[in-house]
Amino acid sequence: MACIRLKENCEFNGENTYKHIHAHLPNYARPRFIRVKSAIELTATFKYRKVQLMEEGFNPAVIKDCLYILDEKENTYVPMTQAIYNSVKKHHFRL
């Protein structure tokens, strides 16, 4: 999973993101999930706060931010839904 913050007045584009990641990263390094946050939290020593992100995982019922999943059949990132989450948990959706 990758957690990103977009520039002001920018919107997430799943197709363009897929093209960029596909061109610059090997398959094993491509994030299967992308989480878009309005602000990235830092610790008192200016390190990224990752523990809470790990605890929340990729459950759309828990996460309030925009969350996208890699759809390799369509070559894009699509919004994560509860139905997709359930398919992943039941091993019907391949990661």
Q: Report pLDDT digits (tens) over 5-60.
A: 888 888 999 999 999 999 999 999 999 999 998 777 766 776 676 777 777 788 88
> What is d(CA 15, CA 64) in angstroms, rounded to the nearest whole number?
23
> What is d(CA 75, CA 16) in angstroms, rounded to the nearest whole number?
10
Q: What is the pTM of this model?
A: 0.82
Question: How far from chain centre, in Å, is Cα 54?
Answer: 12
Classified as helix, coil or strand, 5 is: strand
Reported as a pLDDT band with limits 50, 70 and 90, residue 2 is: confident
pLDDT for position 59: 86
